Amino acid sequence: MSQHDIVVMGAGHNGLVAAAYMAKAGKKVLVLERKPHYGGGVSTRELLKPGFWHDEHSNVHIMIQGNPMLREDELGLLSKFGLEYIYPDLIHVSIWEDGTVIRSYKDLDRTCEELTRVAGARDAEAYRKFVKMSQTALPMLMSGMYAPPFPLGAFVAMMDQSDEGRFLLDLMQRSALDIVDAYFESDLLKLHIVRMVTENLQMPDELGTGMGAFVMPGIVHTFGCSMPKGGSGQLSHALVRAIEHFGGEVRCNAEVKRVIVSGGRATGLELVDGETFMARDGVIGAIHPHVLRKFVAETPEPVLERAERVSQSTFSINLTHLTLKERLRLKVGNDCNAMMTELMDFYTVRDMCIEYDKLKHGEVSPRLIAGGDNTIFDPSRAPAGAGVFYGVNFAPYNLYPHGPGSWDERKEEVADNALAQYRKFYENLGDDNITGRLVRSPIDHERDSPASFVRGDIHGCGPFFYQSAGHRPTPDLGSLRVPGVENLYLVGPFMHPGGGVFGAGRATAIQMMDDMGLDYDKVCGGPV
């Protein structure tokens, strides 16, 4: 048995963020990770060949760009601990099989010039106004995105006090498709926006998910879109360096069996081998609501029942990693390479929606793909001249007709179909240029992080309005605490503000400091 101030279950990036803040606050922190490496969904590894660095899950960092953790460098990740981001001017591109291209640059004027060419002057001007509205709302939205959430009822009541707030409430309850239909005429522009938003694992016409279509353009034109130099996992490396600098420790190959609860308080963590680590001040757990019972059986039964009813995202991804002899070349030219690349052979919203509808019924559409060669912007990811391909194919967890267990048998076939689709857009993606392949299916994601990526949901749980703010993932757990178990705090993609790379552990740290009577502003304003 060893004694610490705070012990953390799970070294995903959210747990590492919370741990780093608490270590900076002077707490003796220990992070325990089941796997032999840390980072969770934010890790970069040599999966196939030495010298080829693949992002295991997250690839592009968008939402974290507005986090004060980076904007104000609160932990010194940028100034002291080696984190460096690559910010290309071309942030998002949609490419169609016939050679049509829409480019979105960080510069709004340049983007509107592009849209005038492809979508027409009216839609270009509508897009400019749309982005300006989004940017106007960003300060208010961002202020709550990286801090403990408001209770959903209080949030709605507050928003209902002004025209601006009611406008945002209206957006939140609609679908991404509703929003683009209301503002734009061109199907190509609608596809360009909606396909990017569905990267959040939401259907185009899913009610209660519309805020993404409004917020995303404002964020990318304000903060840009980026990836860490050296791969997504460099964020996790910088966080571990920060934790260790502040006196904390991260231990891998340490699988947690349960949270130790005594007298209604979380007092430590027990590993599967029986070793225990006690915590004076609190326990942080990356524990999905569906498995809360497994790790914290002392939680009151009504809380557990509500946790087990949390809705997962409608679909997941079948992810293909390739090593390449030479970097990929787009048929439309490599000046069209962007940080986010959507590849499409459908030209109408109707056709796109038909493909997404297949996911609801357990079918995979090879037409729903995205991705590219990460060495285009970061040659350090592979040997000189070689490439590293990251390819996403949206896919259901419950694969028809034989269920999730059939993914092991079918994932290579699904990847083959997606590869045939990619070849419509890349001129040198033949077998002669592919030197290695690894396919990770929805069930592989679940196996990789069974306490976070339940049902292959790499974003934790569904991004629906009823699972937002203080109701994400449930009204009980939305405060980042577990009712009936004092001093237990939650982190993970299933918590506020949502899945993806947010650095959301900052909110958990703020809540912990508030409960402990620590001055967060004083902690973050102090020296690194």
What ranges do the domains of the chain cover? 4-84+230-311+460-525
Report the candidate in 477, 486, 474, 484 with the shortest Cα–Cα distance to residue 512: 486
Roughly how many angstroms between the first and final C-alpha of the chain, as a whole number? 30
Residue 526 has what pLDDT? 72
In angstroms, rounded to a whole number, what is the distance separating the alpha carbons of residues 308 and 290?
A: 5
In angstroms, rounded to a whole number, what is the distance separating the alpha carbons of residues 117 and 44?
A: 38
Degrees to nearest 5, angle at CA 84 with 79 and 85:
130
The superfamily in CATH containing domain 4-84+230-311+460-525 is FAD/NAD(P)-binding domain (3.50.50.60)
CA within 13 Å, CB half, 254: 19
- The answer to whether 391 and 320 have CB atoms below 8 angstroms apart is yes
- Tokens coding 393: 């194919």
* HEC profile of 122-133: HHHHHHHHHHHH
528 by Cβ neighbours in 10 Å (0-12 / 13-18 / 19+) ranks as middle
In angstroms, rounded to a whole number, what is the distance separating the alpha carbons of residues 432 and 417?
A: 18
In residues, how long is the chain? 528
**pLDDT of the chain along its 528 residues, tens only?**
799 999 999 999 999 999 999 999 999 999 999 999 999 999 999 999 999 999 999 999 999 999 999 999 999 999 999 999 999 999 999 999 999 999 999 999 999 999 999 999 999 999 999 999 999 998 888 888 999 998 999 889 988 999 988 998 999 999 999 999 999 999 999 999 999 999 989 999 999 899 989 999 999 999 989 999 999 999 999 999 999 999 999 999 999 999 999 999 999 999 999 999 999 999 999 999 999 999 999 999 999 999 999 999 999 999 999 999 999 999 999 889 999 999 999 999 999 999 999 999 999 999 999 999 999 999 999 999 999 999 999 999 999 999 999 999 999 999 999 999 999 999 999 999 999 999 999 999 999 999 999 999 999 999 999 999 999 999 999 999 999 999 999 999 999 999 999 999 999 999 999 999 999 998 887 777
The 3-state DSSP class for residue 317 equals: strand
Residue 367 has what pLDDT? 97
Q: What is the CA radius of gyration of the chain?
A: 22
Beta strands in 361-513 (DSSP E): 369-373, 387-395, 434-440, 481-482, 485-490
- The answer to whether 210 and 17 have CB atoms below 8 angstroms apart is no
Residue 139 has what pLDDT? 87
Q: Phi and psi at residue 486, in whole multiples of 5°?
A: -65, 145
Residue 389 has what pLDDT? 98
| DSSP strand pairing (276-285 vs 316-324) | unpaired
The 3-state DSSP class for residue 468 equals: coil
- The answer to whether 45 and 73 have CB atoms below 8 angstroms apart is no
Pseudo-torsion of CA 423, 427, 428, 431, nearest 10°?
40
